[in-house]
Amino acid sequence: MTRHLITSALPYINGIKHLGNLIGSQLPADLFARYQRERGHEVLFLCATDEHGTPAELAAAKAGKPVDEYCAELHEVQARIAEGFRLSFDHFGRSSSPQNHKLTQHFAGRLFDMGLIEEVAEKQVYSNADKRYLPDRYIEGTCPNCGYDKARGDQCENCTKQLDPTDLIDPRSAISGSTDLEVRETKHLYLRQSKLRDTLDQWIDSKTGWPVLTTSIAKKWLHDGNGLQDRGITRDLDWGIPVKRGEADWPGMEGKVFYVWFDAPIEYIACAGEWAEAQGTDWERWWRTDKGADDVTYTQFMGKDNVPFHTLSFPATILGSEEPWKMVDHLKSFNYLNYDGGQFSTSQGRGIFMDQALEILPADYWRWWLLANCPETSDSEFTWEQFQQGVNKDLADVLGNFVSRVTKFCRSKFSEEVPAAGSYGPAEEALIADLQARLKRYEDLMDAREVRKSAAELRAIWVAGNEYLQSVAPWTTFKTDPDAAAAQIRLALNLINFYATLSAPFIPDAAASMRAAMHMTGDAVWPSDVQKALSELEPGHVFSVPEVLFAKITDEDREGWETRFAGGRAA
């Protein structure tokens, strides 16, 4: 038995995520977690909401709620939707947890002790009306380059010129519109990432198994231009983790909080602390190599935009501490899923959001299509037509139809018990040999976190059963040799159970229905030996004919949804 620590990138708190977010981290992470559990390995699968920063404060203000209350509510909403998609987190935590406060303050203190934090005085815009410092992008004004009157303090989106807030003509607060702004001097802490460049370089070079997408992005950030820059880790905000040096106050840093990019990844560790507290168990055996975590395999799942944070920023925090923390072994990153010729967009309400998806179809339909088409080696695209085709063909025609045909035929010609007569012959031996080879490929692909190829192999395993059934044709055999038909249908009933176990990481609800129909109780046992697995349901074993596993998506359904989702929704 091996131990797998698995984390998914943390969804930001300010609203419900879309399907592009789901397939870019949480869903493939769940696939891997479910698979490793079924193989009998020990798994700790963690995710959490990322709750700090200005966007959370502004979203709360827009909702007319105190930010802590807003975050608590949105956390509940996201947790409920995650359950709806059957995301099997061992814990879905919060980056605002007491555990993360303590750990973030610990890391800051430790990095200071190691000489990796310096105080920098800088000028920042303060809004008297809003009673707060404004981050660059919350200052608007007229672009000095092109005259566009809604340029932001970091960039003009009209002419793309990079700006400083002080470049803007007639600057105003993007929050209140107030022009009562002044430039004040304030002090911030910077993490001296530049001093860690060689350490990071060596660490990345030691990771020979990482995807090219991951290493190329990391190396680009590490070496292009001036290389890795020192980075501010504090902010003048109210909402966040107060700046402390371990448990001690940090003179001069009163009233400041850590910058969200610094505290969010530390929540991966703190989340294990939240889980351990809820379970009454120990978390350090998962995260401290001096306390038992040296045999843990740690896999992170994320979208490609998150790669720099996971290959550089967070490792800089950990390596800089020179403490024995478990570091990532496999970093699985994804490209983007596009929506019908454009991008999914939260701010523009474009695409399908997770709550809407569950309103129109059960989770398994989405899980299957998204995983089978996930943007692994390049961006991929969701279109309603392809979704309809994929679901109807793979789930309804291939898998669902197999289950329905086999159970109904057995009920009508024999009974709702596994028939005893006949024995397996050359056709069954050939199928078993084929499935044994395919199972090995499926296992290797799942172990390698190859999502699309795993889905393709699973589909091929379903197809093999259908082809077998088509070629031996028990409905014809039955007329001349009922004993042979009994053996064929006994094998096919066993295949349903076999499929349920193999398919559960992709489509857990349908797999559970298949197991229930086969009257299987207890945990599924991974069928490493196909011969044995296909004799698991013995003659006389009772089963039931299940309800339709997957209803087909009609053209009318598809057209209705196309229209409904064409307009987008308010962010």
The residue ranges that bind Zn ion (CB under 5 A) are: 143, 145-146, 148, 156, 158-159
CB of 141 to Zn ion, least distance (A): 11
Neighbours of 202 (CB within 10 A): 10
CB of 155 to Zn ion, least distance (A): 9
CB of 564 to Zn ion, least distance (A): 37
Residue 155, Ramachandran bin (φ over 0: left; ψ between -120 and 50: alpha; else beta): beta
Beta strand extents in 70-158 (DSSP E only): 91-94, 117-127, 132-133, 139-142, 151-152
CB of 135 to Zn ion, least distance (A): 19
Which residues lie across from 185 on neighbouring strands? 123
The candidate with the shortest Cα–Cα distance to 48, out of 3, 86, 100, is 100
Query: What are the angstrom distances between the C-alpha of 536 and each of 37, 152, 426, 498?
Result: 21, 65, 19, 9
Based on CB atoms, which residue is closest to Zn ion, 156 or 487? 156
Query: What are the angstrom distances between the C-alpha of 335 and each of 60, 82, 377, 387?
Result: 30, 21, 7, 19
Q: Measure the CA–CA gap between 171 and 58, rounded to whole angstroms.
A: 19
Is the distance from CB of 347 to CB of 310 less than 8 angstroms? no
CB of 163 to Zn ion, least distance (A): 8
Q: Measure the CA–CA gap between 417 and 535, rounded to whole angstroms.
A: 14
AA identity, residue 366: W
CB of 144 to Zn ion, least distance (A): 8
**Measured between alpha carbons, how far apart are the two ends of the chain, in Å?**
45
Based on CB atoms, which residue is closest to Zn ion, 156 or 534? 156
Q: Measure the CA–CA gap between 169 and 152, rounded to whole angstroms.
A: 11
Helices (H) and strands (E) in the chain, counts: 22, 19
Alpha carbon 123 to chain centroid, angstroms: 38
Based on CB atoms, which residue is closest to Zn ion, 112 or 148? 148
Q: Measure the CA–CA gap between 375 and 367, rounded to whole angstroms.
A: 14
Is the distance from CB of 443 to CB of 453 less than 8 angstroms? no
SS3 196: helix
CB of 171 to Zn ion, least distance (A): 14
Based on CB atoms, which residue is closest to Zn ion, 162 or 206? 162
Based on CB atoms, which residue is closest to Zn ion, 145 or 335? 145
Based on CB atoms, which residue is closest to Zn ion, 9 or 151? 151
CB of 146 to Zn ion, least distance (A): 3
SS3 159: coil
CB of 103 to Zn ion, least distance (A): 42
User: Which residue is associated with the tokens 């079924």?
Assistant: 38
Which residues lie across from 188 on neighbouring strands? 120
AA identity, residue 285: R
Based on CB atoms, which residue is closest to Zn ion, 162 or 378? 162
Query: What are the angstrom distances between the C-alpha of 419 and each of 341, 422, 491, 514?
Result: 52, 9, 10, 18
Based on CB atoms, which residue is closest to Zn ion, 143 or 445? 143
CB of 154 to Zn ion, least distance (A): 12
Is the distance from CB of 465 to CB of 503 less than 8 angstroms? no
CB of 148 to Zn ion, least distance (A): 4
Based on CB atoms, which residue is closest to Zn ion, 145 or 176? 145
Based on CB atoms, which residue is closest to Zn ion, 160 or 378? 160
CA 501, 10, 25, 360 dihedral sign is positive
CB of 168 to Zn ion, least distance (A): 10
AA identity, residue 396: A
SS3 523: coil
Based on CB atoms, which residue is closest to Zn ion, 143 or 316? 143
The candidate with the shortest Cα–Cα distance to 174, out of 127, 244, 217, 216, is 127
Based on CB atoms, which residue is closest to Zn ion, 168 or 518? 168
CB of 160 to Zn ion, least distance (A): 8
Based on CB atoms, which residue is closest to Zn ion, 165 or 265? 165
